[in-house]
Structure 1
Amino acid sequence: MSVTVEVKNYTKTIKGQTVLSNVTLQLESGVCYGLYGHNGCGKSMLMRAIAGLICPTEGCVTAFGKDLNNSNSFPDSLGLIIENVGFWPYFTGLENLKLLASIKGEIGEPEIRDAITRVGLDPDDRRVYHKYSLGMKQRLAIAQAIMEKPNLILLDEPTNALDEDGVSLIRKVVQEEAERGATILIASHNREDLTTLCSQFFKMNAGKLQIVEGVA
């Protein structure tokens, strides 16, 4: 295993409020990390920092050797779920993922169909996205995060809105991605998700990060 993501003394201040305070961490390939803490503690903001969606007030973050401290600088190989994914409401799941995949042009329809099938959806389902149940929408979000086989996967509440079978299936998918060698960071309030999937844990509290032995 090698270090793929490094955050050093990262502080982010927004409108005078410190939302991330002197955060330092390292993530390695093939490892699934768990991130937990109360609402508003900074979990999603840390994921945004690692994804290159925000710039630091102080400190730095690198992913696979790439500096992400400037605007419009993102990891080259990233699968991401933070809050709601912006799918087109009147397109099918397959059509949505084909449009997203066309941005990079790295995969074709067979890989997209495979990702949809892996999360328990039917790529030939003709229902448009706005007619999907909440669980189906969550499964499609997971599919878009894994379809390009990214090296870095950031998942905020990945089993949200899923039934018991859906939770089991998505956990299996996440485990397969880690076995493939991806670096995975999961933020969740679901203790069982974290203890089942993750081998290392971080706790956020008021924008500060702690490395902990497990989920309290």
Structure 2
Amino acid sequence: MDRQDYVIEVSHVSKSFKDNKVLKDVSLLCESGKIYGLVGHNGSGKTVLFKSICGFLSCDEGTITVNGKVMGKDKDMLTDAGIIIEDPGFLRTWSGYHNLEFLYTLRNKKNKDYLCSVLRKVGLDPALKRPVGKYSLGMRQRLALAQAIMEDPGILILDEPMNGLDKNGVREIRELLLKMKEENKLIILASHNREDIEVLCDEVYEMEGGVISKANVSSLHVEGRYTP
């Protein structure tokens, strides 16, 4: 594959915060129709790499190119992307549906039936009146996934997408992500769970001390399987 065929190209990227170098000469190539797994201990640089790809942080060295556009030069923020990084800032007194509706109308879009279908896709009842502030962690995670996919993006950047989900929820979201892969989406996810990586990922990379390397699942520093 020619380099111009890759959707995301991270080329020799480094990033420091004062004297702490958190990304060290990181390079990564990602194409559509694949799921890429990123693993590593907390503080290894995964979230900083995700934020750099999304345009939330600038690189000190190197470049990040998305669909032929250099981040920070040709475009400031990642577009056509669904993103979960850290805890989304939902309005806690509103229902899940009304949170999505508000975000959707910011793009001058309005389609109640479609938003209801998105909520059902992630296992939430669109008629539920409960405010988000009273959602369980798993329900909030499902809502975050609904927000990430509601505009049918070509790219998904997901930091611990299974966080807080029970065994059935994990299975449902894995099935959803695999279906989106079949729809030629590019998905990059971080997970601490070996089974997520084994089931979902076409390629796996490990980060350690800001350095990235391609990895084999059998040698990964990740946890075991989900239990009922």
Normalised by the shorter chain, which TM-score bucket? over 0.9
3-state SS of 1:155 partner: strand
Q: For the residues of structure 2 that align with 1:87 and 1:162, how far apart are their CA atoms?
A: 18
How far the C-alpha of 1:211 sits from its partner, in A, is 1.3
Q: For the residues of structure 2 that align with 1:206 and 1:76, how far apart are their CA atoms?
A: 29
Q: For the residues of structure 1 that align with 2:52 and 2:75, how far apart are their CA atoms?
A: 12
Q: Which amino acid aligns with 2:205?
A: F
Choose the corresponding residue for 1:135, options 117, 135, 138.
Answer: 138
Calculate percent identity across the aligned residue pairs: 40
Choose the corresponding residue for 1:18, options 18, 21, 29.
Answer: 21
Are 2:132 and 1:156 equivalent residues in the alignment?
no
Structure 2: gaps spanning 5 or more residues = 220-228
Q: For the residues of structure 1 that align with 2:217 and 2:72, how far apart are their CA atoms?
A: 30
TM norm structure 1: 0.95
Indicate if the aligned counterparts of 1:158 and 1:188 stay in contact, CA closer than 8 A: yes
Q: 1:163-174, aligned counterparts within 5 Å?
A: 163-174=166-177
Are 2:19 and 1:36 equivalent residues in the alignment?
no
Q: For the residues of structure 1 that align with 2:48 and 2:155, how far apart are their CA atoms?
A: 17
Root mean square deviation, CA, Å: 1.6
Q: Which amino acid aligns with 2:67?
A: F
Q: For the residues of structure 2 that align with 1:104 and 1:183, how far apart are their CA atoms?
A: 23
CA separation of 1:44/1:91 partners in 2, compared to 1, >3 Å: closer, same or farther? same
Q: For the residues of structure 2 that align with 1:210 and 1:108, how far apart are their CA atoms?
A: 43
How far the C-alpha of 1:88 sits from its partner, in A, is 0.5
Structure 1: gaps spanning 5 or more residues = none
- Give 1:146's aligned residue: 149
Moved over 4 A (4+): none
Q: Which amino acid aligns with 1:149?
A: D
Query: How many correspondences in the alignment?
Result: 216
TM norm structure 2: 0.90
How far the C-alpha of 1:71 sits from its partner, in A, is 10
The farther-off stretch of 107-116 and 185-194 is: 107-116
Choose the corresponding residue for 2:62, options 59, 63, 68.
Answer: 59
3-state SS of 2:106 partner: helix
